[in-house]
Chain A
Amino acid sequence: MADTLEIIDLHARIEEREILKGLSLTIRKGEVHAIMGPNGSGKSTLANAIMGNPKYEVTGGKILMKGEDILEMEVDERARKGLFLAFQYPCEVPGVRQANFLRLAVNARFGRELDVMEFYAKLEDKMKFLDINEAFMKRYLNEGFSGGEKKRNEILQMMMLEPEFAVMDETDSGLDIDALKVVSEGVNKLRGPDLGILIITHYERILRYIQPDFIHILVDGKIVKSGGRDLAAHLEEHGYDWITKDTVKA
């Protein structure tokens, strides 16, 4: 309980349209789960509902993080408690300098003013690992970044904030193979007993670099199949049609 993110019978909608129709999933720290699903199955709604995007309305169910109902918390409180969402489309925020933003976020997450030297030492170390060059820190947050740079920046934030549970919303989309490798290496480095990860993806490709412990198939707002890694390979070969037909039959 203290080490889980539990999603229980979650229902959510956006603009009057019900997208999630009773989704349940438990992620323990140390585990990597992947949710795969076709377009429109509810992948992004799930990510946004967990983080608390005000555009999405949760109409039923619970999300417990370490036993606490996070649906009762504001977005920023969830983040400070150790929840992280790697955005599918990280937005550009002109005027906010990267380094300054990261410092504020880190201070908020750890509830104290981090020593400046300590902060920059940590930042440099992570940037090096992700192959991000120094000039990047003086730029405005995501402004004019390529798709790959934005995703790398999400991983950098994740490394700096040391979350306990991380949701990665289609982090692989729009990445070329080199960027995908760097991003995956970042995630693999973070992987460990203190972090539970949920990877949301359309494609099996990222799962070749980040090997999940469990795979779930999301169709029409519900998890219709769960299994091990072999499920991904099967999907790659047969496509989502196979699973949808299968569910309809069942």
Chain B
Amino acid sequence: MNAPAWLEKQRDVARQTFDRLPLPTRRDVDWQRFDIRKLKLDKVAEPALTEKLSASPGNGVIFCDMATAIAKHSDIVKEYLGKGISPDEPNKFNALHVSRLNTGAFLYVPRDVKLTVPLEILYTLTGASGFPHTLVVIEPGAEATLVQKFTGGPTGDMSIHASGTEVFVKEGGHLHYISYQNFNPNVYDFTLKRAHVARDAEIDWVIGMFGASFQRYDIECVMEGEGGNSFMYGVGFAEHNQQFGQFTKQHHKVGNTTSDLLFKNVLRDSAVTNYSGTIKVEKNANGTNAYQSNKNLVLSDKVKCDTKPILEIESNQLRCTHGATVGRLEEQHLYYLRARGLPEEQAREVLLEAFLDPVLARIQVEDVYKEFSSLIHQKVIRK
């Protein structure tokens, strides 16, 4: 299928951007913690990824794969695609993904339509590369729950997954967004998620990071209208030689907006995590509330855990807090559970899961909560 001219143009821009940008190395400040020498981008395999969507609920809602969206809903897609995540952003992996953009999903919820049943997208990486793009438009007063799962990846050779999720929540709209990746080992995952939040609109996010050899997540909320809220929660469990980069940005373009963030990680074996959280408050964004917290639980001496807040604040009327901890299991908690008969091993497992539970508790969809719990439980008991 030939892509429409407007899309081909975006891909072109992305291709040029990709060619122009060098592959990051340890000399780049955001990449110091990571070893990505195994990653080769000169010969990227043909994309092989499937998307499976739950049934569209009707009611004027569009929920379909990206190819269908481009063919049948070109006018709406064109209005939004690339407006939240630009093809020429200085991000080599984003450029790679946009240049190959032909898979993914589109969700469009018309004005005032409130969906109670969650919608689900399952992406499965079946070959050595995949570049899905998810576009979400929540029209004014509308509400939806979107669950996005990233899985798969061939065993053996290194494979690359680069994806984007581009979200628009318009005036008074509300998106509940839950997403996790549980790729097989050997997958290198580069993902950019960005939500534009309009006046009185709200997005709440729960992001799970479990699989892949390497993942770099860039997750951003852009607060564009007064009364807008973003509640961003993340949970990561890194073990063996897994390397997780988590780069968040709470960008307040206008005032009287609120963003809250909590990211929790467990690190075991020789895992590496690097959390970097930017709070950007623009000059006239008075009355901004921005909160950020990153908590890490470390289970071995060999892990590397970095956490860094970055404040770019130009307004002087705001409330902003940030905090980070890196710690071990509390001895007194362990003693207390053991004093009630739990064997040490079990007590440790319970406390590990407990550390992450406050994030999981944010998941409003029962089945998905159970799925997160079970993924974590399997990691905890090393099944």
Interface residues of A (CB under 8 A from B): 51-55, 74-76, 79-80, 85, 87, 90-91, 93-97, 101, 104-105, 108-109, 140, 157, 161
Contacts and interface: CB of A to CB of B under 8 A. Distances in A.
Contacts of A87: 336, 339
B329 to A, nearest CB: 11
A87 B339 CA distance: 10
SS of A interface (majority): mixed
Contact of A85 (B330, B339, B358): B339
B341 A94 contact: no
Top 10 nearest A-B pairs (CB, nearest first) are A95-B354, A108-B341, A79-B341, A95-B357, A105-B340, A76-B338, A75-B338, A96-B354, A80-B341, A109-B341
Nearest to A109: B341
A91 B332 contact: yes
Contacts of A79: 338-341
Contacts of A97: 357
Q: Which of B332, B341, B347, B356 has the most CB of A within 10 A?
A: B341
A101 B339 CA distance: 12
B260 interface: no
A76 B336 contact: no
Contacts of B344: 74, 76
Contacts of A105: 337, 340-342
Contact of A161 (B336, B340, B343): B340
6 contacts: A55-B331, A76-B339, A76-B342, A96-B354, A109-B341, A161-B340
B12 interface: no
Given A74-B344, A108-B343, A94 B338 contact: no
Contacts, number: 74
Interface in B21-38: none
B354 A94 contact: yes
B200 to A, nearest CB: 31
Contacts of A93: 333, 336-337, 351, 354
Contacts of A55: 331
Contact of B335 (A75, A109, A140): A75
B350 interface: yes
Contacts of A90: 336
Contacts of B333: 91, 93
Contacts of A95: 351, 353-358
A53 B339 CA distance: 9
Interface of B: 330-333, 335-344, 346-347, 350-351, 353-358
B89 to A, nearest CB: 37
Given A95-B353, A105-B341, A108-B342, A54 B331 contact: yes
A95 B355 CA distance: 6
B338 A74 contact: yes
A104 B346 CA distance: 9
Contacts of B330: 91
B101 to A, nearest CB: 40
A87 B338 CA distance: 13
Contacts of B332: 91
A75 B335 CA distance: 8
Q: Which of B330, B342, B343 has the most CB of A within 10 A?
A: B342
A50 B155 CA distance: 52
A38 B178 CA distance: 56
A97 B353 CA distance: 11
B335 A157 contact: no
Q: Which of A90, A108, A109 has the most CB of B within 10 A?
A: A108
B9 to A, nearest CB: 49
Nearest to A83: B339
Nearest to A107: B341
A53 B340 contact: no
Nearest to A111: B341
A217 B379 CA distance: 51
Contacts of A76: 338-339, 341-344, 347
Nearest to B331: A54
Nearest to B347: A76
A55 B332 CA distance: 10
Contacts of B357: 94-97, 140
Nearest to B336: A91
Nearest to A142: B336
Contacts of A104: 342, 346, 350
A70 to B, nearest CB: 13
Contacts of B336: 87, 90-91, 93
Given A74-B338, A75-B338, 10 more contacts: A55-B331, A76-B347, A79-B340, A85-B339, A90-B336, A93-B337, A93-B354, A95-B351, A96-B337, A96-B350
A231 B18 CA distance: 86
A85 B354 CA distance: 23
A51 B332 CA distance: 13
A248 to B, nearest CB: 37
Contacts of A140: 354, 357
Contacts of A85: 339
A51 B339 contact: yes
A51 B336 CA distance: 10
B376 to A, nearest CB: 11
Nearest to A53: B335
B19 to A, nearest CB: 47
B119 to A, nearest CB: 28
Contacts of B339: 51-52, 75-76, 79, 85, 87
